[in-house]
A and B are shown apart, each in its own frame.
Chain A
């Protein structure tokens, strides 16, 4: 997908981020400006810190005892590591989709309705129904499940489960959507469906996707960041990264020599 628009607003601005797991220095002085209404891909060999960096953006690293994050990340100019920020509120604004589809062992309806319920986004059942339908439509799942909303979400196929998780994430009306290898557990057809969906989600959100597949990055993203051994080596327009990278490490990863 080509980036059609002119310059966009900066949604997320990360500066001098370092992450440590105990002694291990997993992210080394990474700075990146992520645009609104754009799909940004993080690529790099496994273990280079893509997920770790992604988890900084919704402070999921807070839930790991030994993880320590330094530096500044601002969303719309507000520092999310400010002591006044409640990570719970932040995560309503920054949704996340995980590598392995992880629907709650509840009905499809309850999966989607859970976020809106705990954040008080609906005043009554009718409004909640509306949110659920809208979210499932955005997750490109509505047509497949509208007749069985009260069946367990865990009974869906892998690809459907992942789209359910996406619907669940968008139901809380986030502004940023983080996706950590959302297609790695899916078959090619389900992957294609989810990729198509990601392109649509770009209309409403700033999407950050971690992927180990360069083809996928090339297909869905407008911007790409290449990580290597905890460093962010290069960050540019996706086209540029794949056709004319600046850094020799990017070059060799793209051409299949590392990773």
Chain B
């Protein structure tokens, strides 16, 4: 028998190499599918949602007539408040008609329909400005006013002549006029950071709806979660991992923590409703209750990752500390905890990110309400984080429920905001991890 040549593959080697190549290609295929799904998802969200970050404005000079806005002529804001937004709406309409005439634009569109091209929100904006500064009356003031949602949709491609012909809220003639106005520079679509700061708006004014209240509510809840969940979870983990005797009770606790992490989030919502709202009588819809519920939900996640981080610290470090006469606590706080910190941080941020995107439990505790007032962090009447509020994911859910497609665009925009926050948090987790680990 001659010895085998190394230059030719034998049968077994061939089969083994083929199996390896197959396995690698499965892996590559799986990753490709995942990346494609991600790409499609992101593109669709961005394409649909990017519109929320720009908004169409009408720029008009309006002479604020004293006889209509301040009948008594004494510039007293209390009496001027008697003129409602309806009164202002007609002033704006007349202002726009005058502006069109001045620009030499002729149109068949009725006066009423011209007025409707301005957002219903605009009259409130102007009224507030006038009441804040009564001296404006009689002056000619340049206003940048929100265009109606349909007009805005036309410039973003959401509304077309075709859909307008079937739409009761807008007519093709109005759209033609809008185009003329755009050429004359009266109407313009531009970037809209107010989307991030404005409160929610009613069904008829999607153009005025923003995420201000939702972002504040989410921020307050994250503060509550961070302040409560991190210390509680770290303390619990340190106790369980470093101090507690290993017996039946700690085993039971351990199993239960693992189980809690798998409990559907809506169950935490029911729990929060029963305990925090019905029993402890905290304010419904408040970031405090939301934060407490999310804390309960996040605790197991942080505990599990903190314990894993503590476990991964080599026991020889504990021996070393005890060996030079450190107490148990000193060994934990001086040596074990700093080494576990990157893991704990990552776990905490992942827990927070989870909490930030959580919707179901918040629906149950009423955070889905329509809120236009910015919640205060503290107020005498409602206490700490007690003002009614919404949260980002709930706002998204809420907007997708409304009939006007302009709200869908805004919901997609809100998803972009949520994703950006999550990205920032995950990036922070990675950076912190690197920073702490690089110490050596």
Taking Cβ atoms with an 8 Å cutoff, the residues of A that contact B are 58, 60, 63, 65, 88-93, 95-98, 100, 102-105, 114-115, 118-119, 152, 154-155, 165, 168-169, 171-172
Contact = CB atoms under 8 A, between A and B. Distances in A.
B324 A92 contact: yes
A95 B245 contact: no
A257 B317 CA distance: 37
Contacts, number: 69
B440 A118 contact: no
A63 B317 CA distance: 13
5 cross-chain pairs, A with B, having the tightest CB-CB distances, nearest first = A92-B325, A102-B316, A115-B324, A96-B323, A91-B325
Given A97-B323, A105-B317, 13 more contacts: A88-B325, A88-B327, A91-B325, A96-B319, A102-B316, A103-B320, A104-B317, A105-B440, A114-B324, A118-B326, A154-B440, A165-B320, A168-B324
Contacts of B245: 65
B196 interface: no
A102 B331 CA distance: 14
Interface in B283-329: 314, 316-327
B246 A65 contact: yes
A96 B317 CA distance: 13
A12 B316 CA distance: 26
A228 B320 CA distance: 28
Given A100-B316, A104-B317, A165-B320, A119 B325 contact: yes
Given A102-B317, A105-B339, A118-B330, A60 B439 contact: no
A115 B325 contact: yes
Nearest to B339: A105
B14 to A, nearest CB: 44
A114 B334 contact: yes
Most chain A CB within a 10 A radius of its CB, from B323, B330, B335: B323
B325 A89 contact: yes
A105 B439 contact: yes
Contact of A172 (B246, B325, B334): B325
Interface of B: 245-246, 314, 316-327, 330, 334-335, 339, 439-440
A72 B237 CA distance: 36
Nearest to B325: A92
Nearest to B313: A105
A104 B325 contact: no
A63 B322 contact: yes
A118 B335 contact: no
A58 B339 contact: no
Nearest to A63: B322
A88 B326 contact: yes
A98 B319 contact: yes
Nearest to A105: B440
A98 B317 contact: no
Contacts of A95: 323-324
A89 B320 CA distance: 15
Contacts of B316: 98, 100, 102
A152 B335 contact: no
A120 B243 CA distance: 25
Nearest to B324: A115
8 contacts: A65-B246, A89-B325, A92-B325, A93-B325, A98-B323, A115-B324, A118-B330, A165-B320
A88 B331 CA distance: 11
Contacts of A105: 317, 339, 439-440
B324 A102 contact: no
A95 B319 CA distance: 11
A169 to B, nearest CB: 7
B322 A91 contact: yes
Nearest to A93: B325
A182 to B, nearest CB: 12
A128 to B, nearest CB: 15
B56 to A, nearest CB: 58
B324 A169 contact: yes
B326 A104 contact: no
A169 B323 contact: yes
A90 B324 CA distance: 10
Given A105-B440, A115-B324, A60 B330 contact: no
A115 B317 CA distance: 14
Contacts of A172: 324-325
B313 to A, nearest CB: 10
Nearest to B440: A152
Most chain A CB within a 10 A radius of its CB, from B245, B321, B325, B440: B325
Nearest to B323: A96
B167 to A, nearest CB: 68
A90 B323 CA distance: 10
Contacts of A100: 316
B324 A91 contact: yes
B323 A91 contact: yes
A165 B334 CA distance: 17
A104 B320 contact: yes
Nearest to A119: B325
Given A105-B339, A115-B324, A172-B325, A60 B317 contact: no
A114 B318 CA distance: 13
Nearest to B327: A88
Contacts of B323: 58, 60, 91, 95-98, 169
Contacts of A171: 324
Contacts of A165: 320
A65 B245 CA distance: 7
A102 B320 contact: yes
Contacts of A92: 324-325
A235 B434 CA distance: 53
Nearest to A62: B322
Nearest to B318: A63
Contacts of B317: 102, 104-105
Contacts of A89: 325
Contacts of A118: 324-326, 330, 334
Contacts of A65: 245-246
A58 B322 CA distance: 10
Contacts of B320: 98, 102-104, 165, 168
